[in-house]
A and B are shown apart, each in its own frame.
Chain A
Amino acid sequence: MKIMSDLSRAGLLVIGNPFKFMGGAPRRIYNCLKMYPRIGIETTLYIPYSHLLLIKTMQYLFGIDEKNLYETLWAIEKEGVNISEQTYVQLEKTEKDFLKYVNILKSHGPLWIFNDFVRLFPLINKKVIEQTKQATEKDEVIKNTFSKKAMIYIMDNNFPDWIVTGSFISKTFQRPLFLLLQSIPFGSLRKFVISEWMRDRYFYEEELFRILVKIYLQIIKQTYLKYKFLYTYHSISDSLTGLLSVSEVPLKLLKLDVWAYKKKKPAGIIVPGNAVDINFRECLNPSKRDEILVKKEDYAIFYARLEVEKGIFEVPFIANHLQQYGYKVVLVGRFSSMKTKRTFERLCGRLNVKNIEYFGYLSDEDLWKILSRSKVLIYPSHSDVFSLVVLESLFLGNSVVAYNIPAINSVYGSLKPVKNY
């Protein structure tokens, strides 16, 4: 194919986090990275040092074996992706730096760290650029990539340090820069305040004063985030070649479509913006699909991260209605906090809901078994960019009942089994 052969000569430098245990966006990056060499695109991965430090913190907090980090990088390398030398060098360096911060935390307390960060904050972008400069000067893999005129691809808009890194490399090597939108790092302040109020006042039943203080602090945080991101987008507009998006949601909700129009930057939606694991393909085989559809049982399912944003507190009300007709609801996933779990249980008790069967967090294999037997996914999510839960459910023959939010409407709105309103 001509397009691919033109681009394989150009190559791609990806800035992103491929550690799929960290969530949906890294999982997408991991899967796409493995595919670029297969379609003939010479690909190099660079992970900024600032992000490696964040990964190290997550690894420490969630008790993830360090082996997983290296195994992920090796798996990508095995598929033909070049990993920049500096990614490995800096990954080792994070260990030392991370321990340094832990020791400071232990000896000076969290407030000192906070003050230190506030003081250092204006220097962060400068620091990110310094590290990137060092990487581009020292790293033979990156230099080799640019000798072949690579394009730079920032694979998530959720981290300003990636955007600053990509922009710096683009300016240094005078190469095209693309930014993929797959997150909503800030949203409408009005909606945010209403949802915080509803959650804390009506579900968590917190004291009025505590709620007001919390909302006030959150408003400051959200406003700060919004301006930080807008500033970052503005600062890269000279070097940016185009915006890509996994669905129309980030473009519309962040108003980046308007921003792109004003800046005369092209913006395009990727279709398909996401995919499922290869095992799902067999569900499209007509005989397998018939087998799945025949074995359906009369129950509804809800699976996701069990949190307010995904609509966990609507589930008892839906279950209550289905209970009157003798149907059960299967619930799969991990509660985001003990508070959420207790509130959920209290709601179930208050509504006298007894038809919810909770399975906790399941392995993919066990989840697919339950999902292939359920008939309908109830999905009262309030916010999404591209729901993989909905996609997987459709593969396994579930109808989907969801709110008419932009992610559901724009991606799945025209499909018969998706009932959104």
Chain B
Amino acid sequence: MAEEALKVLKMDQNRFVEEHTDPKLIKFLELHSSWKNVAEAEIKKMYEIIREG
């Protein structure tokens, strides 16, 4: 783990920025940026279960 941390600390700044602006990461963060998304996901899952049951 220390080695992995060291690799990040030594990482080239451009690569670091690239990793942290990666579209997949941004999409993931957007999804997790609102409690409304969580509440909607719960309700939708309940509805799916009821509908399929």
A binding-site residues for B, Cβ under 8 Å: 3-4, 6-7, 12, 28, 31-32, 34-36, 38-39, 41, 151, 153, 176, 178, 180, 241-242, 244, 266, 268, 270-276, 278, 280-281, 283-284, 286, 289-290, 293, 296, 298-300, 314, 317-318, 320-322, 325, 327, 375-376, 378, 380, 391, 394-395, 397, 399, 401-403, 414-417, 419, 421
A270 touches B1 (CB 8 A): no
Question: A380 CA to B39 CA in the complex, in Å?
Answer: 30
In the complex, residue of chain A having the shortest beta-carbon distance to the beta carbon of B50:
A176
A35-B29 in contact given A399-B19, A401-B1 (Cβ < 8 Å):
no
Q: How many A-B residue pairs have CB under 8 A?
A: 170
In the complex, chain B residues 25-53 whose Cβ is within 8 Å of any chain A Cβ: 25-26, 28-50, 52-53
B4 touches A271 (CB 8 A): no
- Of B19, B35, B53, which one neighbours A275 at CB under 8 angstroms? B35
Question: A240 CA to B34 CA in the complex, in Å?
Answer: 29
Q: Which residues of B contact A391 (CB under 8 A)?
A: 32
- Of B6, B30, B38, which one neighbours A322 at CB under 8 angstroms? B6
- Of A6, A32, A270, A402, which one neighbours B45 at CB under 8 angstroms? A270
Interface size class of B (residues with CB under 8 A): 35 or more
In the complex, chain B residues 1-30 whose Cβ is within 8 Å of any chain A Cβ: 1-11, 16-17, 19-22, 24-26, 28-30
Q: Which residues of B contact A272 (CB under 8 A)?
A: 31-32, 37-38, 41
Q: Which residues of B contact A417 (CB under 8 A)?
A: 19-20, 22, 25
In the complex, residue of chain A having the shortest beta-carbon distance to the beta carbon of B37:
A272
Q: Which residues of B contact A375 (CB under 8 A)?
A: 8-9, 16
Question: A278 CA to B17 CA in the complex, in Å?
Answer: 23
Besides A3-B43, A242-B49, A325-B6, 12 more A-B contacts (Cβ < 8 Å) are A35-B40, A39-B36, A151-B50, A153-B42, A178-B46, A242-B53, A274-B38, A293-B16, A298-B9, A327-B6, A376-B5, A378-B1
A318-B5 in contact given A7-B47, A414-B24 (Cβ < 8 Å):
yes
Within the complex, what minimum Cβ distance (angstroms) separates B46 from chain A?
6
A39 touches B41 (CB 8 A): no
In the complex, residue of chain A having the shortest beta-carbon distance to the beta carbon of B10:
A325
Question: A244 CA to B34 CA in the complex, in Å?
Answer: 19
Within the complex, what minimum Cβ distance (angstroms) separates A292 from chain B?
9
Q: Which residues of B contact A4 (CB under 8 A)?
A: 40, 43
A281-B5 in contact given A397-B20, A399-B19 (Cβ < 8 Å):
no
Within the complex, what minimum Cβ distance (angstroms) separates B45 from chain A?
5
Question: A280 CA to B16 CA in the complex, in Å?
Answer: 20
Question: A399 CA to B40 CA in the complex, in Å?
Answer: 29
Q: Which residues of A contact B1 (CB under 8 A)?
A: 314, 318, 378, 380, 401-403, 421
B49 touches A268 (CB 8 A): yes
B5 touches A401 (CB 8 A): yes
Question: A36 CA to B46 CA in the complex, in Å?
Answer: 13
Question: A314 CA to B31 CA in the complex, in Å?
Answer: 32
- Of B4, B43, B45, which one neighbours A39 at CB under 8 angstroms? B43
A38 touches B36 (CB 8 A): yes
A322 touches B42 (CB 8 A): no
B38 touches A244 (CB 8 A): no
A242 touches B46 (CB 8 A): yes
B19 touches A7 (CB 8 A): no
Question: A278 CA to B8 CA in the complex, in Å?
Answer: 28
Name 22 interchain pairs, CB-CB below 8 A, sorted by A.
A3-B44, A7-B43, A35-B39, A41-B43, A153-B46, A176-B46, A178-B46, A241-B46, A266-B53, A270-B45, A286-B21, A293-B16, A293-B21, A300-B5, A318-B2, A327-B6, A327-B9, A375-B16, A376-B9, A395-B33, A415-B22, A419-B7
Q: Which residues of B contact A298 (CB under 8 A)?
A: 9
In the complex, residue of chain B having the shortest beta-carbon distance to the beta carbon of A320:
B2
Top 9 closest pairs, chain A to chain B, by CB? A321-B2, A35-B39, A242-B49, A376-B8, A31-B35, A318-B2, A416-B19, A401-B4, A399-B8
Question: A12 CA to B42 CA in the complex, in Å?
Answer: 12
Q: Which residues of A contact B42 (CB under 8 A)?
A: 32, 153, 180, 244, 270
Q: Which residues of A contact B24 (CB under 8 A)?
A: 414-416
In the complex, residue of chain B having the shortest beta-carbon distance to the beta carbon of A242:
B49
Residue among A36, A281, A401 with the highest chain B CB neighbour number at 10 A: A401
